[in-house]
């Protein structure tokens, strides 16, 4: 009898411990168990430190030219070598990362914000608002995003702010569909009917009761939006319609790879920016996978 009581007490204690632990702590614990996501987070932090702390790691001017040392292979004073104008590749790669990362985060913030607003309106109110938003979303998703961005960029011209607005203003459809689906499902739950019965206004129901319950699937979507924005900026700059020179970005640094001689004989000119872009996008995607698993409500309490 004593053994049985002890076992029951232990099970009750374990259950109480799990009950006390908040969903956020449970999600954090599950994320830390995702080794690839944790390693990716450390690597991504290192990239941010290198790029935004560039003056601490290099003393060269990212746009300063020295024709006497142009086309030098990696080694000596230039660990990544120099380009055709004698600019230090390592310095340009770090300063370029600042622009590419800022474009990615700012454009993702715009696209996620638009997606949440439009998706919430369509999913909550339904009927005509849902039909209008859904049809616009369908049209936007019919065409490849990069083609639309290239067309718009050709009309408005290159520029940092233009690139941010173009990418952010054209990458919202996926978020809109996700949020709309969540709202269509959640608005039929009993807690939402209870808020209606209490007479709460629609704005409060949307922002305080339904939207917080959509954050779990949105967490992964936000990270993927950042990586997609970085890749879009790289693509536009590679094609010469993104951030204009001499401001370095990973995309316009890779534009040198369009020159066959540089592509074959001087890979150090374009490979560092390509490697940083690839590593950053992979890290963000792996972190997104980890967040998706961590905030999955079906596995959160396992």
What is the tens place of the pLDDT at every residue in 29-38?
A: 888 888 899 9
SS3 at position 180: helix
Mean pLDDT, range 185-193, rounded to an integer: 86
- Cα distances from 217 to residues 124, 152, 167, in angstroms, run 17, 30, 22
Name the pLDDT band for 88 (thresholds 50, 70, 90).
very high
Tokens of 128: 């005509």
Residue 41 has pLDDT above 90, yes or no: yes
Phi/psi at 274 (nearest 5 deg)? -65, -40
What is the Cα–Cα distance from 277 to 202, expressed in whole angstroms?
42
Mean pLDDT, range 157-164, rounded to an integer: 85
pLDDT of 111 reads 92
**pLDDT tens-digit readout, 109-150:** 999 999 999 999 999 998 899 999 999 998 888 888 878 888
Q: What percent of the chain has pLDDT over 90?
A: 29
Q: E strands within 96-219? A: none
Residue 171 has pLDDT above 50, yes or no: yes
If one compares 171 and 17, the residue with the highest pLDDT of the two is: 171
DSSP annotation of 81 reads -
* Most confident region among 70-74, 99-103, 232-236 by mean pLDDT: 99-103
What is the Cα–Cα distance from 201 to 124, expressed in whole angstroms?
13
If one compares 101 and 264, the residue with the highest pLDDT of the two is: 101
Contacts of 110 (CB under 8 A, 6+ apart): 164, 165, 167, 168, 169, 172
What is the Cα–Cα distance from 226 to 201, expressed in whole angstroms?
33
pLDDT of 2 reads 45
pLDDT of 251 reads 87
Name the pLDDT band for 4 (thresholds 50, 70, 90).
very low
Whole-number average pLDDT of the chain: 84
Peptide bond into 246 cis (omega under 30): yes
Mean pLDDT, range 45-60, rounded to an integer: 93
Domains of the chain: 38-51+95-294 (1.10.3720.10)
Tokens of 78: 């230039």
The Cα angle at residue 205 between residues 204 and 207, in degrees rounded to 5 = 65
DSSP annotation of 108 reads H
Name the pLDDT band for 3 (thresholds 50, 70, 90).
very low
What is the Cα–Cα distance from 138 to 127, expressed in whole angstroms?
16
């Amino acid at each position: 009898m004593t053994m049985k009581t002890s076992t029951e007490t232990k099970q009750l204690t374990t259950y109480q411990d799990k009950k006390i632990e908040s969903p956020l702590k449970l999600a954090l614990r599950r994320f830390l168990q995702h080794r690839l996501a944790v390693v990716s987070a450390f690597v991504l932090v290192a990239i941010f430190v290198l790029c935004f702390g560039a003056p601490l790691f290099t003393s060269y001017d990212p746009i300063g030219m020295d024709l006497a040392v142009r086309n030098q292979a990696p080694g000596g004073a230039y660990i990544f070598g120099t380009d055709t104008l004698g600019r230090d590749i390592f310095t340009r790669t770090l300063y370029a990362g600042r622009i590419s990362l800022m474009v990615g985060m700012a454009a993702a913030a715009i696209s996620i914000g638009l997606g949440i607003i439009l998706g919430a309106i369509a999913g909550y109110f339904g009927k005509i608002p849902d039909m209008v938003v859904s049809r616009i979303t369908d049209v936007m998703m019919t065409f490849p995003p990069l083609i639309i961005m290239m067309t718009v960029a050709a009309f408005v011209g290159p520029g940092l702010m233009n690139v941010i607005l173009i990418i952010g203003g054209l990458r919202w459809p996926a978020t809109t569909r996700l949020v709309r689906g969540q709202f269509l499902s959640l608005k039929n739950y009993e807690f939402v009917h209870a808020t209606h019965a209490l007479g709460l206004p629609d704005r409060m129901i949307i922002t305080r009761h339904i939207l917080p319950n959509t954050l779990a699937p949105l967490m992964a979507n936000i990270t993927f939006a950042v990586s997609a924005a970085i890749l879009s900026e790289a693509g536009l700059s590679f094609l010469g319609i993104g951030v204009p020179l001499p401001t370095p970005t990973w995309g316009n640094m890779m534009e040198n790879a369009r020159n066959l001689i540089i592509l074959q004989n001087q890979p150090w000119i374009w490979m560092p920016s390509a490697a940083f872009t690839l590593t950053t996008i992979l890290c963000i995607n792996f972190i997104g996978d980890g967040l998706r698993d961590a905030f999955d409500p079906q596995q959160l309490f396992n």
